[in-house]
Chain A
Amino acid sequence: GDSVTQMEGPVTLSEEAFLTINCTYTATGYPSLFWYVQYPGEGLQLLLKATKADDKGSNKGFEATYRKETTSFHLEKGSVQVSDSAVYFCALSRGSYIPTFGRGTSLIVHP
């Protein structure tokens, strides 16, 4: 079945550091890929998505590129802020109503 694997957290960075959160997936066909962000005490918000190979999703300074050859969708940001502290979920969908979510990676950014 489909699965999503994310790097274990927490990821702890200083403000303005470069961020990478790794995500790899297993799925047949060509799924759509997503990153969601969950701030403390809130629900998930869609951060970015990509629907086909080599697409780059971007939003709020975050980027992720859909790599079919490595089945990856790593999340990156050039300079993180304290306000980026949250839990980040990678997910995929193959047209069903049930996305497959990773376990989430907690990001902690210190001033």
Chain B
Amino acid sequence: NAGVMQNPRHLVRRRGQEARLRCSPMKGHSHVYWYRQLPEEGLKFMVYLQKENIIDESGMPKERFSAEFPKEGPSILRIQQVVRGDSAAYFCASSQSPDSSTDTQYFGPGTRLTVL
């Protein structure tokens, strides 16, 4: 049973380019969460999606960032016109239900974005 898959594992972009990060949840999981981890900091929630719906994007910057989870295929986190401050590790997690107190979120290995 494959875990949460993320690709690419490492992504290098120049300022102004676009970054696309992909996440395939665990089989049977329909709830996907994206987090950002800056160096020496904990995880910060960005967005919560179910299939074809954004449920909560309160942690995602209003400009340049977008996320989707289509009916078919992986969830995508898209960052347009990247800036150096976007350099971070981006983690995707998935779960069977949205109650994190009883239902574990399983994390992917992350995508480490470096903006030159």
Hey, which bits of chain A sit against chain B, CB under 8 A?
A: 31-32, 36, 41-46, 49, 51, 89, 93-99, 101-104
Residues of A within 8 A of B98 (CB): 96-97
Chain B: interface residue count, which band?
A: 20 to 34
Interface pair A43/B110, CB less than 8 Å apart: yes
Interface pair B101/A32, CB less than 8 Å apart: yes
Hey, which bits of chain B sit against chain A, CB under 8 A?
A: 4, 6, 31, 33, 40-43, 45, 48, 55-56, 59, 91, 93, 95, 98-102, 104-110
A-B contact count (CB 8 A): 65
- Name the residue on B nearest A106 (C-beta): B40
16 other contacts beyond A93-B101, A98-B56, with CB at 8 A cut-off? A32-B102, A41-B109, A43-B107, A43-B108, A89-B43, A93-B99, A93-B100, A95-B101, A95-B102, A97-B56, A97-B95, A97-B100, A98-B33, A98-B100, A102-B42, A104-B41
- Name the residue on A nearest B112 (C-beta): A41
- Name the residue on B nearest A51 (C-beta): B101
Residues of B within 8 A of A46 (CB): 104, 106
In the complex, the 8 A-B pairs of residues with the closest C-beta atoms, listed nearest first: A43-B107, A32-B101, A97-B98, A93-B101, A101-B42, A93-B100, A44-B107, A103-B42
* In the bound complex, CA of A51 to CA of B102 (Å): 8
- Name the residue on A nearest B48 (C-beta): A97
